[in-house]
A and B are shown apart, each in its own frame.
Chain A
Amino acid sequence: MKKIFSSIAALMLAAVCAFGQTVPAVNLTDAAGKQVPASSLVDNKTPFVISFWMTSCKPCLKELEALTDEIIDWDGPFPLRIYAVSIDDSRSLQRAVAMSRTWEGITPLFDTNADLRRALNVSSVPQVFVYDKDGKLFNTHIGYRPGDELELLEQVRKCGKK
């Protein structure tokens, strides 16, 4: 089995060198409960950020708060689009909706059946994904340490110049 794991992993590594990731074809829901195709986040004009979070993840909340602070000072050549995708299940979904209603500058979305989480292979949160204007993955990062938000915004700037 070890050999099978290694072989499959090697195959995948080879494949990864050649192919890129696009936004998966799955649906999310918005705060009003409406279906939002993940592909609709692509506007072919500006890059965007997807940040996975949940109410019981303190680093996630700190990252979103830090991003909220930075949004105020954002002076990039394009509007900053940040989508906070909650992976809270029914235990804490309402809490996630309530918390997100006080945010400014961050659009909340909800991945209640973990479809986007599985499609992007998110095994722990927080994890952020930076996509370019055409919906191609530009950068990703797992975990949050104070200061990560500055690196993230730098990646968004680079992505916008691409």
Chain B
Amino acid sequence: MLASLLAVSLMMHAPDSTAQARFGSVTGAVESNSALYLDDPVLGPAQSRFGSNNYLKLDWQRDSLSAGLQAEWYPRALAGYPSELSGAGLTGLYLDWRCGLVQLHAGSFFEQLGSGILLRSWEDRELGMNNGITGAYAAFHTRGNGMRAKVFGGFPKFGVWPTLQTAVAGADLSLDLLSATGSGNALLLEGSFTDKIARSTEDGVAFLAQSSGFTVPAHVPGVSARVQYSSAAFSVKAECVWKGDDYYVEQLPKAREQYRLKGGNAQIIEASAAVGPFSGTLTARRLENMSSRIFHTTGSPSVANTLNYLPSLCMQQTYMLAGLNPYETYADGEAGLQGDLYWTFRRGTVLGGRYGMKLHVGGSWIMALPCALPDRDAGYLAYRDINIDLERRWNRNFRTVFFVSIQENSPTHGNRKATNAQNVFVLDGQYRFSSATSLRLELQYLYSEELTRDWMAALAELSFAPHWSITVSDMYNHGSTGVHYYNVGASYSLSSLNISLLAGRSREGMVCSGGVCRWQPAFAGGVLRVQWSF
């Protein structure tokens, strides 16, 4: 089977133009993530022995017409994924027609308005997240894209069910006032409107009505207004979002809470610029009650999915220990600043040396809004970090990265003054033995006096381009638990096929993205991942 897949994958480079013109072209992808869970002397017995998440996506296109589908199959979902990911189903199906300046689309689609704080539907398989909308949209743009407009409506999905009962409708308009000038600059004026339409038959709506007499509003309108000026070296963008009265869980002192109606709003200003070897960004964001929840329709009064995107206003960490305790946006209310500065030391300069050097300094500072906290007179630090990485290539074969991350995170989202601090230091070196063989080594240390205290980690990766790589890593919590989290992995790539196998012990933790989090339980065993597109 594998040999056939490889053969076919290679054959795709010999297209038959006549057949393609007549029948159209078909593309697609298969992805399978399967895990075998084992009992472990430290973690205890495995909760289940097996988990497997599988995806198939197919698209057909002929001239201006295209169609496609996505199917998902969960004989038993991977550990930590939502229990609704069970069985098999057709989770996407669409037909799309484009003719000149007009596009009509029926079926499933993904949409983002502005930064996504008002509305974003997207798929993230790492999270088990897919809030794609099933419905229809019509889009129009003028020649040169001076004006673009779109109207849409539909039902977001969750799990392998076709849709939830909550509906969403919206419209978006974008004007580029400089499009007629022919310059490379853009001055965009944009606006969006949405309406989230809940039904009284939804489980969560019915539950709130019965248990506390609270009526979830049938319509929650939302508006986003945006302005952006961009040139090749500079851009500044501002967005204001307003959300009508929505279901809100108000946090009260002494761990009490109450349901009430509350509107939401958000403001974002982003700027970025480049001057010579420098480039940088600065973002300021304030948001208040910007969760946009969708309830379950079968069997649970809890929130099933979300309709917008609330990413953390801080750097997405990539080193193991730096990402140990990620910060997640406090959607009830926070305000923050984030900035990054990149400095490229050119080749041949005193500091750049023969091969150049790169320096990045970034940081973020986020405060909770007192109005969103149980103690109304609070409003302490929610999160801050400073990240510095210095990358230098010493000769044709050897390069290093030195990385420091100083992080401070409030476990109460700023309701109390106490925070957890951690300092992470990483040395990442790569040596190239030949044009195809290289070794990368990471040494990491986390110093902290809170939570699980000190950690150390190491990773070695041996690569044989263009097909193979082998990885060995260990994360060791020597400050508290004394547990090793070790892994051995290998991956193979050929054309659009990628197969990876990872075995060992993995730590529990939150996997978060855009206001959506998934609890990943600790496990021991092996994970096989196969991806192939054609």
Contacts and interface: CB of A to CB of B under 8 A. Distances in A.
Query: Most chain-B CB neighbours within 10 Å: which of A90, A102, A138, A143?
Result: A90
Contact of B498 (A4, A25, A124): A124
Contact of A19 (B23, B117, B468): B23
Nearest to B90: A4
Interface stretch (B38-46, B292-300, B432-440): B432-440
Contacts of A150: 435, 465
Contacts of A33: 186, 188, 228, 230, 235
Interface string B428-469: 001010111110000000000000000000000001111111
A122 B64 CA distance: 22
Interface string A8-20: 1100110111111
A147 B28 CA distance: 28
A80 B64 CA distance: 30
Query: Most chain-A CB neighbours within 10 Å: which of B12, B88, B435?
Result: B12
Given A94-B270, A140-B496, A151 B465 contact: yes
A101 B469 contact: no
Interface in A78-113: 89-92, 94-95, 97-99, 101-102, 112-113
B115 interface: yes
Given A33-B186, A121-B28, A92 B316 contact: yes
Interface string B165-179: 000000000001001
A22 B27 CA distance: 10
A34 B231 contact: no
B465 A146 contact: yes
For chain B, give the interface size range: 35 or more
Query: Most chain-A CB neighbours within 10 Å: which of B14, B309, B498?
Result: B498
Interface in B268-297: 270, 272-274, 277, 279-281, 283
A9 B73 CA distance: 14
Nearest to B88: A1
Interface of A: 1-2, 4-5, 8-9, 12-13, 15-22, 24-25, 27, 30-35, 55-58, 89-92, 94-95, 97-99, 101-102, 112-114, 118-124, 127, 136-143, 145-148, 150-151
Per CB-CB distance, the 3 closest pairs between chain A and chain B, nearest first, are A20-B15, A147-B465, A91-B311
19 contacts: A1-B73, A2-B73, A19-B25, A20-B15, A20-B16, A34-B184, A56-B317, A56-B318, A89-B309, A89-B514, A90-B112, A90-B117, A92-B311, A101-B272, A114-B122, A121-B533, A127-B496, A142-B496, A151-B466
